[in-house]
Amino acid sequence: MKINSVKIISLLFFILSAFYLYTAHQIQVFTFDENAPFNAKTFPIYLGYAGMFFSGLKLVLPDQKPIEVDSKHLEFKKTFLLVLTMIIYGATILKVGFFLSTSLFLVFSYYFLGERRWKYILIFSFPFVAIFMYLLHGLLAVYLRDPLLKYIGIMG
């Protein structure tokens, strides 16, 4: 059996299914439901077995169409920076507020992806978010939490 990335993913899925099956067995059902034909853990138990079955088959059987992704051609750095920016955006959106966090997220994302035309970067960040917020909050009456704008007195 040749080890490749798909086999490793299948192995991980097999372990996940085994863990899922173990956790399914640990689900506490009501005493009167213990011996019922169907209770809260019946379906998850079958799913655990199904996951182990399919991933086990994928592990054991030879690959029909082996796929190897050439990692040299993948842009890990840009992707990592983008994901990191999203995590920071997610962490700050409630505390800092929608306007500032979203605008900064857009500015950094444009920059990390290689955009250097600052005129466009600035147009499609702060004013764009302001218009978007006006449409949502002002016209469609969709609530947008923004402590910063509330503190300044721009938002009610």
Partner 1 sequence: MIEGILIGLKTALSFQNLLMVTTGCFAGTIIGMLPGLGPMTAIALMIPITYGFDPATGLILMAGVYYGAVFGGSTSSILINAPGVPGTVATSFDGYPMAQQGKAGKALAIAAYSSFAGGTIAAIFLLIAAPSLSKVSLSFRSPDYFGLMILGLTAVAAFSSKGNFLKAMMMCVFGLMLASIGQDTLSDIPRFTFNTMNLSDGISFVLVVMATFAMSEALTIIIKGNDPTKAAKQISLTDLGSIKVTKEETKQMAKTIPRSSILGFIVGVLPGAGATIASFLAYGMERNFVSNTEKEKFGKGSVQGLSAPETANNAACSGAFVPLLTLGIPGSGTTAVMLGALLGFGIQPGPRLYETNPEIFWSVIMSMYIGMVVLLILNLPLIPYIARILAVPRTFLIPMILFFSVTGIYLMSFNNFDIFLMIGIAVLATILRLYDFPMPPLILAFVLGGLMEENLRRSLLISDGSWSFLWSRPLTICIMISILLIIIWQIYSGLKSKNK
Q: Which positions lie near partner 1, rule CB under 8 A?
A: 5-6, 9-10, 13, 17, 20, 23-24, 27-30, 33, 36-44, 47, 50-51, 54-55, 57-58, 61-62, 64-65, 67, 69, 73-76, 78-79, 82-83, 86-87, 89-91, 93-94, 98, 102, 105-106, 109-110, 113-115, 120, 124, 136, 140, 142, 144-145
Measured CA to CA, the distance from residue 6 to residue 64 in angstroms comes to 12
H, E, C per residue of 63-124: CCCCCCCCHHHCCHHHHHHHHHHHHHHHHHCCCCCHHHHHHHHHHHHHHHCCCCCHHHHHHC
Closest separation in Å from C-beta 100 to partner 1: 14
Q: Is the Cβ of residue 145 or residue 150 nearer to partner 1 in the bound state?
A: 145
Task: Dihedral sign for Cα 112, 116, 118, 121, please.
Answer: negative
Minimal distance in Å, beta carbon 124 to partner 1? 6
Our CB check for partner 1 shows the closer of 38 and 156 to be 38
Rounded to a whole number of angstroms, the minimum distance from the CB of residue 65 to partner 1 is 6
2 or 76: CB nearest partner 1: 76
Q: Are 154 and 133 in contact (CB under 8 A)?
A: no
Pick from 77, 104, 79, 80: nearest CA to 90 = 104
Shortest Å distance, C-beta 126 to partner 1 = 13
Rounded to an integer, what distance in angstroms lies between the CA atom of residue 107 and that of residue 122?
7
